């Protein structure tokens, strides 16, 4: 294929996508047919590979793209089961009486938003509906901005809007503080020392929700959303082990394996890991959001990745046998 032909296909695709009726949704029967076609295409690739015709990397990208995009239009019900780690996270939140002060540490930035923002949205809506007082902070510069988005989304819900929640009284955003784990360490003795003002430059002592909040001993629960360093590991090491904080966390899938040991030793109350954790957290809090939409495309893409691992291994075995035959 010539170079300009690829561009023509791309332009045609964009034109089709622009003129197609919106929103586009395909029936359950059509969804099944599309899934079967995708499966057959993968089997065809496997057969080609076994017969010695190796496919190019662009075909793999095409399959991944299709497996991520097509399920958005499909009508499938996903079977769900809430894992013990998400259940314990939810249980810890559910046990908090109205008026409890929850410190929400937003330690991530926009690239991790697909996994963590649904958790932030669900947490914020749940906290506001159950009259928890939320104190927001971030060890990542963009974390508090992500928190603002979750707050704005929660406040748009009629049930929450009816509560007339007030900034400074029901929730506050202390903003970002540089210093990584040293910030947590210092907060163990003085919150105001690390956050003398909130994001609107209001003095710490003039914010009603922070009255009597001197250090971690005045906080009932810490909820940490983390995508790396500094994050949940540092919160466990310092806030939990040194100051006895009760901590629940939502993590990106990359980080989750490094946090699981803390869960089994009960240093972490609960954990929502990756997209599946976010989805389960939404289900547990009964706040369906983007993770519920994302879970089907992710399931499809994982299936395709597994299929290509099998195909890749088939190619390896075929190549090995061929080279052996060649040697003989």
Contact residues toward other proteins (CB under 8 A) are: 6, 17-18, 20, 22-25, 58, 61, 64-65, 68-69, 72-73, 111-115, 141, 175-178, 181-182, 185, 196-197, 201, 236-238, 241-242, 252-254, 256-257, 261, 264-267, 273-276, 290, 293-294, 297-298, 301-302, 305
Separation of alpha carbons 61 and 253, rounded Å: 21
Look-up of token digits 């499909």: 74
The residue among 99 and 179 lying less far from other proteins, judged by its C-beta, is 179
Output the six-digit token pair for 187. Answer: 């907060």
Sign of CA pseudo-dihedral 76, 81, 86, 88: positive
Sign of CA pseudo-dihedral 29, 30, 31, 32: positive
The residue among 129 and 153 lying less far from other proteins, judged by its C-beta, is 153
Bond preceding residue 23 cis, omega within 30 of 0: yes
Task: Name the minimum Å distance from CB 31 to other proteins.
Answer: 14
Burial 3-31 (b: 16+ CB within 10 A, else e): eeeeeeeeeeeeeeeeeeeeeeeeeeeeb
Sign of CA pseudo-dihedral 198, 250, 302, 283: negative
CB 224 within 8 A of CB 247: yes
CB 266 within 8 A of CB 292: no
The residue among 128 and 294 lying less far from other proteins, judged by its C-beta, is 294
The residue among 13 and 50 lying less far from other proteins, judged by its C-beta, is 13
Task: Name the minimum Å distance from CB 72 to other proteins.
Answer: 5
The residue among 47 and 310 lying less far from other proteins, judged by its C-beta, is 310
Task: Name the minimum Å distance from CB 222 to other proteins.
Answer: 16
The residue among 120 and 275 lying less far from other proteins, judged by its C-beta, is 275
Residues 6+ apart with CB under 8 A from 29: none
The residue among 170 and 234 lying less far from other proteins, judged by its C-beta, is 234
Task: Name the minimum Å distance from CB 40 to other proteins.
Answer: 22
Phi/psi for 290 (5° steps) reads -70, -30
Task: Name the minimum Å distance from CB 185 to other proteins.
Answer: 7
Task: Name the minimum Å distance from CB 165 to other proteins.
Answer: 26
Task: Name the minimum Å distance from CB 180 to other proteins.
Answer: 8
The residue among 296 and 315 lying less far from other proteins, judged by its C-beta, is 296
Sort strands 171-176 and 133-138 into parallel, antiparallel or unpaired.
Answer: parallel
Task: Name the minimum Å distance from CB 302 to other proteins.
Answer: 7
Shortest CA distance to 224 belongs to which of 135, 306, 316, 313? Answer: 135
Separation of alpha carbons 109 and 116, rounded Å: 9
User: What letter would DSSP give residue 170?
Assistant: T
């Amino acid at each position: 294929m010539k170079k300009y032909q690829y561009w023509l296909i791309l332009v045609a695709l964009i034109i089709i996508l622009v003129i197609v009726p919106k929103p586009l949704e395909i029936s359950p029967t059509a969804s099944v047919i599309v899934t079967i076609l995708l499966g057959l295409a993968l089997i065809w690739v496997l057969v080609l590979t076994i017969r010695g015709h190796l496919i190019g990397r662009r075909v793999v990208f095409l399959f991944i793209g299709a497996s991520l995009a097509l399920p958005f239009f499909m009508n499938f019900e996903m079977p769900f089961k809430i894992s013990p780690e998400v259940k314990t996270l939810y249980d810890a939140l559910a046990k908090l009486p109205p008026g409890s002060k929850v410190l929400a540490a937003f330690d991530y930035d926009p690239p991790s938003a697909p996994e963590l923002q649904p958790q932030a949205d669900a947490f914020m809506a749940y906290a506001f509906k159950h009259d928890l007082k939320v104190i927001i902070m971030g060890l990542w510069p963009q974390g508090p901005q992500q928190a603002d988005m979750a707050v704005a989304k929660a406040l748009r819900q009629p049930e929450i809007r009816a509560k007339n929640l007030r900034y400074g009284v029901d929730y506050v955003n202390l903003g970002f503080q540089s210093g990584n784990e040293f910030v947590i360490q210092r907060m163990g003795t003085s919150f105001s020392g690390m956050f003398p003002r909130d994001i609107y430059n209001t003095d710490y002592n003039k914010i009603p929700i922070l009255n009597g909040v001197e250090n971690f001993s005045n906080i009932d629960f810490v909820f940490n959303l983390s995508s790396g360093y500094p994050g949940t590991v540092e919160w466990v090491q310092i806030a939990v082990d040194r100051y006895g904080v009760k901590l629940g966390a939502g993590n990106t899938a990359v980080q989750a394996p490094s946090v699981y040991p803390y869960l089994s030793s009960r240093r972490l109350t609960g954990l929502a890991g990756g997209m599946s954790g976010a989805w389960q957290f939404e289900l547990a809090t009964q706040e369906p959001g983007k993770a519920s939409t994302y879970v089907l495309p992710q399931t499809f893409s994982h299936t395709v990745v597994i299929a290509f691992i099998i195909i890749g291994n088939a190619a390896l075995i075929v190549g090995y046998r061929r080279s052996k035959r060649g040697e003989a």
